[in-house]
A and B are shown apart, each in its own frame.
Chain A
Amino acid sequence: MAKRYDVIVIGGGHNGLVTAAYLARAEKRVLVLEKRPRVGGAAVTEEIFPGFKFSMFSYVVSLLRPEIIRDLDLPGHGLHILPLESTVTPMENGDYLAAWADHDETRRELYRHSPRDAEAYDEYGRLMHFMAQAVKPILSMVPPDPTSFAPGDLAALLKLGKHFRGLGAERLHALVKLMTMSSADFLDEWFETDVLKATKSASGIIGTFLGPRSPGTAYVLLHHYMGELDGVFRAWGFAKGGTGAVSEAIASAARSFGAEIRCDAGVSKVLVKGGKATGVVLENGDELLAGTVVSSLDPRRTFLQLLEPSQLPDEFVSDIKRFKFRGSSGKVNIALDSLPTFTCMPDGGPGGRLHRGAVSISPSLDYVERAYDDAKYGEFSRRPYMDIVFPSMIDPGMAPPGKHVMSIFVQYAPYNLNGGWTDAKREAFGDAVVNTLEGFAPGFKSKILHRQVITPLDIERITGLSEGNIFAGELALHQLFFLRPAPGWAKFTTPVRGYYQAGSGTHPGGGIMGASGRLAALRILKDGT
């Protein structure tokens, strides 16, 4: 008879690890089972080419909850998030738009493009600050079920209603707009500079199968402002050692609280007896028992793969089947002999700061929209939107001295490519990325030492994320809050007693936030195991 655990956590991605750490901290005997040889899921650092380390999938730490950093003492376990200071968008005409760390400098840069936009930028920023403040409490609450008549739900709904009314009319209206509009339309009200709108709206499409003119993309604009409320220097940061270091720090914290983490241990089934989870079966056939089982995998695998449909209500099964993934992004990781030179800023800006920040390939709204058009009809973007960082400029340990690594997040690459993904198509996709970039940085191609191209299909194969969706399920309005992942089951519980969900496919989901994992752990502790 094997060792008995209080809780088994399926999946050693950052959310699974956060859940495990919080549970272990509460003195539960916790086992984490990770299919891959290393923890992290989509937040891993790998040395793909000798001497060159890459944050293979997820590459920026956007909204890692500060309470998690404090509660788990992640800096004590090696976490150091370094700021990404700027964003430069090269334009097709050889000019650029830059947002720098300094307000005066950014204002002046915007003024160059449009004096009015430079002013609107401040007022827009103030509104977004309020909006982030309005939304923030929602991220750390368990979504109430509006269809339920339970006193707890009614009270929570009432509280939510009060919160929104407390915002005042003006801000409430702005919030409605933000939740329903397209980022292009929302930004149109404020700005006239196309490249500014393109770059801002590009942050609204990341991970979605939507274009900047699609309604429902505006609220993601908030993410940039959310971090500042937590006293974080910038919303976007880069973890020293890559995003894998985030996972390693959380894993280390979990272990320090007594959690056991087993890699190369894929789970094939969750054991259910009498409607209650009792443990798991590993891919190698071993059975492990526990009073509570938590899946941090995405909803499709959590319910349709680890359980039998007969163990779940029919309506729930069809809701989960309807849950949309539609992976839309790919990644190109490049080892560089030297830094590329961008036509728009040949000297790399003052102090070479261009390469210390992000480079956004979003020269115009139409450019990004056309990239989406390709994907809509099942092709990868011939000229894709790209978000580029040079991690070795921020953390020199990522590449051999003098050499560099370059991380290119690419959109759109539809999971359901016409005719399906093949090796040849993967390389064609990689070529589209490199060739597009060559246009903005001539000579870039000749500096490439190695190239790794990752399609949504690769993301699915390697990390398990269904359809390669980086958020474990689209962050669309109808898949958020009490609808994430399914109506009635947004509170981290599942129709199977003792079986919980903790991944990004639950509220609030998305990015390396860890909020889902934490809320799930708190829920489990509240229920008692």
Chain B
Amino acid sequence: MSLRTTPFHPRTAPLSEGQAWRRWAGYVVASSYELSHDREYHAIRNSAALFDVSPLYKYLITGRDAAQLLDKVVTRHVAKAKVGQVLYTPWCDNAGKQIDDGTISVLNEQTYRMTSADPTLRWLHLNASGLDVKIEDVSEKTAAVSLQGPRSREILQLAAQQDLTSLKYFRLTPARIRGIPVTISRTGYTGDLGFEVWVDAAQAVPLWDAIVETGTPYGITPAGMLALDVARIEAGLLLIEVDYFSSRHALIESQKSSPYELGLGWTVATDKEQFNGKDALLREKKQGSSWQFTGLTVDWDSLESLYAAVGLPPRLPSQAWRTSVPVYDGGGRQVGYATSGGWSPLLKQYMALVHLESQFARPGTELFMEITVEHRRKAARARVTPLPFFNPERKRA
């Protein structure tokens, strides 16, 4: 009873200086280990940050029809993927509205690991009728850490005693770290060079120790969700329940979004045979979407002058925020809303992820975002910016 802790908890708990924990899928994970999350953020972009991402939902799909099941469920073409490949993909209901997004790792010809933000077991079963496939929830059995940052490769190469330079973006490889069997995938949620390491939950603690010990000389820094949130906004990565609602949780139609409306049109394999939502998505592709998901950068001068008008210097959000903020056109008509935003310490930009009516989503369009200055609502000038805000070459190199 009470909340669960992850398999890394014996190591993460003593690190917590301020007991700042938050809930993630029924687990407690660190918001930040240090009292301020600044250093943890900079580790992502400067050295290497280590995240405990065990609460992700993980499913093992095996059997003759495993690819067929996944191809019915998700929008990308799974059967085409090669062993060792990882696909980022959304999945939709029959009306082409997005249910969730996650990754599919091709472990071998008939074995796939799917990760999701929401529980997906029932949905997989609903889709699996008549198929020769086994679906196993391995969420608790499998622990995972994410090592993100420019030095992550050096650290992991040392720890695994294995060359990882040939491991390409969105590929995975089996490996051993101090004898512990793991899977290393070149994936992450930061838009930087980074890896995720998947391990049997029973071996989580020794794995953590191995990575931390190896990484210490390279500046490895355990990091929490606050730092991750800033990085993922910079990278323009979606967060369910924040940037969009699962169509299976939405209470009204207008809360649902399609992949096209979320900037994920590239994931829809329209040439694939029947999959959930195909007809609706084809229609939308032809007719165009009424919404777009993109970036918005707040104009510094405008922000400064709004604060200057009341005699204050600009006040910047100290953490990434996740509230819905209206966005207006020049005439004061609301044309969209931001769902996440924050200050990028690296880019020195006030950035936001926004849903905009399509005709306002062209990069460079000048809009206004609501800012509350001394209890009064103001609008700061802002410009539509294509995502991601930050896209270092090392991510794919």
Contact = CB atoms under 8 A, between A and B. Distances in A.
Interface of A: 100, 104-105, 107-109, 115-116, 118-120, 122-123, 126, 129-130, 349-350
A349 B1 CA distance: 8
Interface of B: 1-4, 23, 26, 119-123, 125, 137, 248-249, 251
A115 B121 contact: yes
Contact of B23 (A104, A118, A130): A104
By Cβ-Cβ distance, the 3 closest A-B pairs, closest first, are A119-B122, A104-B26, A119-B119
Contacts of B119: 115, 118-119, 122
22 contacts: A104-B3, A104-B26, A105-B1, A105-B3, A105-B26, A107-B26, A108-B1, A108-B4, A108-B26, A115-B119, A115-B121, A115-B137, A116-B121, A116-B125, A119-B121, A119-B122, A119-B123, A123-B122, A129-B251, A130-B251, A350-B1, A350-B2
A205 B5 CA distance: 39
B122 A126 contact: no
A115 B3 CA distance: 17
Contacts of B122: 116, 119-120, 123
Contact of A123 (B3, B120, B248): B248
A475 to B, nearest CB: 28
A284 to B, nearest CB: 58
B26 A126 contact: no
B2 A105 contact: yes
B118 to A, nearest CB: 9
Contacts of A118: 119
A116 B120 CA distance: 9
B18 to A, nearest CB: 22
Q: Is the interface of B mostly helix, strand, loop or mixed?
A: loop
Contacts of A123: 122, 248
B56 to A, nearest CB: 15
Contacts of B137: 115
Contacts of B1: 100, 105, 108-109, 349-350
Contacts of A120: 122
A495 B396 CA distance: 83
Contacts of B23: 104
A148 B240 CA distance: 51
B250 to A, nearest CB: 9
Contacts of B121: 115-116, 119
B83 to A, nearest CB: 28
Contacts of B120: 119
A122 B25 CA distance: 13
A130 B248 CA distance: 13
Residue among A115, A118, A123, A126 with the highest chain B CB neighbour number at 10 A? A115
A128 to B, nearest CB: 13
B125 to A, nearest CB: 6
Nearest to A129: B251
Contacts of A130: 251
Nearest to A133: B251
A255 B143 CA distance: 64
A356 to B, nearest CB: 14
B158 to A, nearest CB: 38
B255 to A, nearest CB: 12
Nearest to A119: B122
A129 B251 CA distance: 9
Contacts of B123: 119
A97 to B, nearest CB: 13
A131 B334 CA distance: 33
Contacts of A107: 26
A349 B120 CA distance: 30
A402 B2 CA distance: 27
- Most chain B beta-carbon contacts within 10 A, residue among A107, A118, A119: A119
A104 B22 CA distance: 13
Among B2, B3, B4, B249, the one with the most A-chain Cβ atoms within 10 Å of its Cβ is B2
Given A108-B1, A126-B251, 5 more contacts: A100-B1, A105-B3, A115-B137, A118-B119, A126-B249
B5 to A, nearest CB: 12
Contacts of A119: 119-123
Contacts of A116: 121-122, 125
Contacts of B251: 126, 129-130
Nearest to B136: A115
A247 to B, nearest CB: 37
A129 B252 CA distance: 12
Nearest to B119: A119
A105 B249 CA distance: 19
Contacts of A100: 1
A122 B241 CA distance: 15
A227 to B, nearest CB: 18
Contacts of B125: 116
> Which among B3, B119, B125, B251 has the greatest number of chain A C-beta atoms within 10 A?
B119
Contacts of A126: 248-249, 251
A349 B3 CA distance: 14
Contacts of A108: 1, 4, 26
B98 to A, nearest CB: 16
Contacts of A349: 1
A118 B123 CA distance: 12
A123 B249 CA distance: 8
A120 B121 CA distance: 10
B248 to A, nearest CB: 6
